[in-house]
Chains A and B, each alone.
Chain A
Amino acid sequence: MQELINKSKELLASGSINRVLGWKAGDLSYNPEPAFFTSEEELADFIYDDFCAANLSKFMIEAAKKEGKTLVFLKPCDTYSFNQLLKEHRVDREKAYIVGVGCSGKLSTTKIKEQGVKGITKITTNGDTLEIATLYGDKSLNRSDVLLERCHVCKGKEHRIYDELIGESKETSDRDKFKEVEMLEKMSPEEKFAFFQQELSKCIRCNACRNVCPACSCRKCVFDSDKFDSAQKLNANSFEEKMFHIIRAFHVAGRCTDCGECSRVCPEGIPLHLFNRKFIKDIDELYGEFRAGEDAETVGPLTSFTFDDAEPQEAVERG
């Protein structure tokens, strides 16, 4: 962490950057927030730890509008999002100084609490275990039990775009990313429907998933505008949340880097990544493997085609 701070100070002092985009320590042991730093003093609050899960790429859209260069710390998976935004002219490469930071997986507060931990006062990482002090006694947890879902299906610890790299990474991928999707695919229509009905009925339409998503970078979302008469702030019934989540997934299909932010931020714990991952799986199977954000040039699968693509009926019935 100190290395990151030193780098920030050095570049700020040299005047080659105007600000640093990183994470600021929170007031609890697990709530750092994305923040801009413009001075050495401010950097006193800089932190990079197990809870710095936020994907800073999205904030680079705003940074591109600011004067001068922004140093941004991107984890390996965040660089995919940056590339995708670059492809869509939403960020400015010239105004970014990208420091790729190492990542050993990030932790989920929700999962920690699901382990029955209450009243957390301090969390210390000790290798593969977490030592948690609480108001109701000390606990110790396996780090891998409280990793964010996305870290179990990590794309790899290679940064796809950067100016320099700082820090070591540790591989966390230990699951098949399509396993959940496959399980659902095997269910009967009734079971699938019941599953999504239960999950989506929790949706409160807070738009956190959309607003945190680097692919959902529209200036004004269709669900906020009158373009489709689709402006809605409410799930009056079960249809609307389906409409919202299907269309949202469709709009980011072929653009979603599977960064997992949607599932991370959902206050109701809806596994929203399932929608995106279903599309990724379909695209891989039907049109050849494609990983959005691997580079900033390749044309996406929904803006290209081949003459012998599968027919929609075949796509559905492929089983």
Chain B
Amino acid sequence: MSIENKEFKPKIVAFCCNWCSYAGADLAGSSRLAYPADVKIIRVPCSCRVNPMFVLRAFEKGADGVILCGCHPGDCHYTTGNYYTRRRMSLLFSMLDFIGVENGRTRVEWVSAAEGVKFSTTMNDFAKKIHSLGENVRLGDIRCKN
């Protein structure tokens, strides 16, 4: 078991809004603030572009963790997008918790373009959490595990 844990390389999908969090990730990069390579970023115009279907699809295809990053509430480039995100994801995450998916596989964080440090610490922290939860076995499609 311990050997398996050592080899566990989680797949983490990070949806980042173009205006704040993607730029925050860029800043983390240019500031050389490391975070695990398990995290792969998908650029979306706004966190409100992220459909719950995307989150579930990531799990279906074998992701172990999904994180959404957007502008801080009040700072959305499109004024209100992240407020919708906040409600949608609150419900989705609550539902995942309800059906017994481990709390912590999903997260929403607000990261501004200036918060390279926050981006990096957030990703480090999230990756650590996913490591501690181990492989996602409750939401994946078995056909994708090989």
A–B contact with Cβ pairs below 8 Å: the answer is: yes
Cβ–Cβ contact B98 & A250, under 8 A: no
Interface of A is mostly: helix
> Which of B56, B74, B90, B139 is packed against the most chain A CB atoms within 10 Å?
B90
Cβ–Cβ contact B108 & A253, under 8 A: no
Contact for A312 among B74, B83, B89, B98, CB less than 8 A: B89
Cβ–Cβ contact B141 & A237, under 8 A: yes
Which chain B residues lie closer than 8 Å to A306 at the CB level? 83
Within 8 A of B (CB), among A202-245: 222, 228, 230, 236-240, 242-243
Which chain A residues lie closer than 8 Å to B83 at the CB level? 305-307, 309
With contact pairs A196-B99, A230-B53 given, residues A279 and B91 touching in the complex (Cβ less than 8 Å): yes
Report the Cα distance A243→B96, complex, angstroms.
10
Q: How many residues of B contact A (CB 8 A)?
A: 39
Report the Cα distance A316→B105, complex, angstroms.
12
Which chain A residues lie closer than 8 Å to B96 at the CB level? 246
* A-contact 0/1 string along B4-27, CB 8 Å cutoff: 000000000000000000000000
Contact for A278 among B95, B100, B138, CB less than 8 A: B95
Report the nearest B residue to A250, measured CB to CB.
Answer: B52
Judged by a CB distance under 8 angstroms, whether A247 is at the interface is yes
Judged by a CB distance under 8 angstroms, whether B92 is at the interface is yes
Contact for A249 among B59, B84, B89, B95, CB less than 8 A: B95
Spell out A's residues near B (CB within 8 Å): 181, 184-185, 187, 189-197, 222, 228, 230, 236-240, 242-243, 246-247, 249-250, 253, 275, 278-279, 282-283, 286-287, 301-303, 305-307, 309-317
With contact pairs A193-B138, A243-B60, A316-B103 given, residues A305 and B87 touching in the complex (Cβ less than 8 Å): yes
Which chain B residues lie closer than 8 Å to A239 at the CB level? 59-60, 139-142
